């Protein structure tokens, strides 16, 4: 897999977790990013907020692959907390607009 970022030390700390690397390798062709505000047409976040963003081609039908993906999200969030990039807080989730 390819890792891109602007802080090599933080990336090394984040990806020193072998379980995370194993879970990434179990996925086929995914994009996993941390995104900030995306300008005028994208979602709006407060300055202190970001989004863990995922893209995959096609539909995931394999239950094990989907479970591994959720495990990967959980592990990434936990590791971001561990290396103090984020803090533990309840997310605001809006699945639809009222």
What predicted TM-score, i.e. pTM, was given to this entire model?
Answer: 0.71
- Mean pLDDT, residues 48-61 taken together: 82
- Per-domain boundaries in the chain: 8-82
- Mean pLDDT, residues 24-48 taken together: 75
In which band, very low, low, confident or very high, does the pLDDT at 95 lie, cut at 50, 70 and 90? low
Q: What is the DSSP letter of 18?
A: H
Check residue 6 and give its pLDDT.
81
The token pair at 63 is: 């239950």
Report d(CA 24, CA 85) in Å as an integer.
20
In which band, very low, low, confident or very high, does the pLDDT at 96 lie, cut at 50, 70 and 90? low
Question: Is it the case that residue 59 has pLDDT exceeding 60?
Answer: yes
Question: Is it the case that residue 91 has pLDDT exceeding 80?
Answer: no
More confident residue, 80 or 91: 80
């Amino acid at each position: 897999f390819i890792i891109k970022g602007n802080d090599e030390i933080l990336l090394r700390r984040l990806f020193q977790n072998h379980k995370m690397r194993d879970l990434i390798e179990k996925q086929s062709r995914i994009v996993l990013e941390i995104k900030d505000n995306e300008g005028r047409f994208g979602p709006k976040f407060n300055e202190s907020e970001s989004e863990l963003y995922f893209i995959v081609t096609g539909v995931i039908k394999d239950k094990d692959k989907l479970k591994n993906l959720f495990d990967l999200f959980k592990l990434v969030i936990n590791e971001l907390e561990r290396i103090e990039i984020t803090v533990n807080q309840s997310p605001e989730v809006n699945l639809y607009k009222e």
